Amino acid sequence: KIPLLIDTDPGVDDALALLMAFNDPRHEVVGLTIAAGNVGLKHTVANALKLCEIAGIDAPVFAGCPGPLLHPAPDAGYVHGEDGFGDVGYDAARRTAEREHAAQAILRLSHEHAGRLLLVALGPLTNVALALKLDPTLPERVARIVVMGGAVTGHGNITPAAEFNVYFDPEAAHIVFEAFPRIDLADWEGTIAHGLLHDRVVEWLAADSPRARFYERISKKTREWSADRRGEYWHSADALAMAYALEPDGAAELVERPVVVELGQGHARGMTVVDWNRQTGLADRFRILMRYDQGRFEGLIRAALAAG
């Protein structure tokens, strides 16, 4: 099995991505490293532990950095609920997080699975950036990194220019984007192009499984918020990134270009600047997911909810 390490800030769409990973027979989740982002670290850690408990998964959970590397940033509790899981008031998981810090766990697991590790980052890149600062040789041991982040033609979701994960910690994104020789990028605009019909999602959530029942509860608030704002389609950024990670051959269109992150404090802070016309002379190190097989994507979600 391919060892899979997920850095994540659960988060309703993170949770769906995690269920997809838990259900994949070709990958083994070797750890969850937890970032602050959608909500504070206390909640993202508690949510990860609870989701594992519901799904019957004993992958170790490592708490990471409590905030961005340099500049504080607002969270996204207004989308995911104050606790990041729709404020349904679940009982805390029995298990607690490991003592090891997420950044150190990333490095250790990269040694244990050197040359084979699939690293999937679904939140702000703070933990991965810190791991790189501790040990810049990390990319040599990672077989593939998939990042959910950015808005490649500049239609941001948190500001007009920026996508949430990159905006929350642009310096971390910059460090990660510079360090890895190849990055598979699933961005916000790709997410918008792969909407899920609310009615269909409701059908999948009716599956007779603990995973579907729990996910139905924690996703209710954000599905309602999205239906009010964006109409009949729901968008799950981290689920699409996970589909690309688990089944890369489902990608129907990939574009290879250089990408850099804007670090200034102006309107474009956190923007992912894609060199579409190859004017910078930088290498085409990013493989940007433009289109993914929609049937395959939906099949992975449906199966993930029905499992267990």
Cis peptide before 84 (omega within 30 of 0): no
The two tokens of residue 287 are 């493989």
Active site residues: 235
- Cα(139)–Cα(136) distance, rounded to whole angstroms? 7
> Is residue 24 near Ca ion by the rule CB under 5 A?
no
- Cα(122)–Cα(7) distance, rounded to whole angstroms? 6
Q: Which stretch binds Ca ion (CB under 5 A): 92-100, 171-179, 232-240, 281-289?
A: 232-240
- Cα(173)–Cα(187) distance, rounded to whole angstroms? 13
Between residues 189 and 238, which has the closer beta carbon with respect to Ca ion?
Answer: 238
Between residues 13 and 216, which has the closer beta carbon with respect to ligand BDR?
Answer: 13
Q: Residue 7 Cβ, how far from ligand BDR at the closest point, in Å?
A: 11
The two tokens of residue 182 are 């190849």
Q: Residue 281 Cβ, how far from ligand BDR at the closest point, in Å?
A: 29
What phi and psi values does residue 74 have, to the nearest 5 degrees?
A: -75, 150
Radius of gyration of the chain (CA): 18
Residues that bind ligand BDR (CB under 6 A): 11, 13-14, 38, 76, 122-123, 148, 157, 163-165, 188, 237-238
Query: Can you tell me which of 5, 7, 14, 226 binds Ca ion, judged by CB under 5 A?
Result: 14
Between residues 39 and 251, which has the closer beta carbon with respect to ligand BDR?
Answer: 39
> Is residue 7 near Ca ion by the rule CB under 5 A?
no
Between residues 22 and 168, which has the closer beta carbon with respect to ligand BDR?
Answer: 168
Alpha-carbon torsion, ordered 44, 116, 170, 157, to 10 deg: -70
Q: Which residue is at the shortest CB distance from ligand BDR?
A: 164
Binders of Ca ion in range 112-131 (CB under 5 A): 122-123
Buried b (16+ CB within 10 A) or exposed e, 254-274: beebbbbbbeeeeebbbbbbb
> Is residue 11 near Ca ion by the rule CB under 5 A?
yes
157 binds, among ligand BDR, Ca ion, none (CB under 5 to 8 A by kind): ligand BDR
- Nearest residue to 33 via CA among 102, 86, 79: 102
